[in-house]
Amino acid sequence: MSPTMKIKSRIRAVQGWIMVNFGRATGNQHLEAKGMAIRSENDPGQRAEKTGKMPRS
């Protein structure tokens, strides 16, 4: 994966994290769920938890 793609993926993961927390704070379940979906598709750690495999260092 190129450095640019890694940065874009990390930005999307952080964006999802913000959406999750903002959704929780405001009680907006739709925003929270959307943030969780974005986080899990862009965060390698979340993906590893979902598949049960840990990423290699």
CB neighbours of 29 closer than 8 A, spacing ≥ 6? 23
> What's the whole-model pTM score?
0.65
Q: What is the pLDDT of residues 18-54, one digit of tens each?
A: 999 999 999 999 999 999 888 877 655 545 555 555 5
Q: Which of 22, 23, 34, 27 is nearest to 12 (CA)?
A: 34
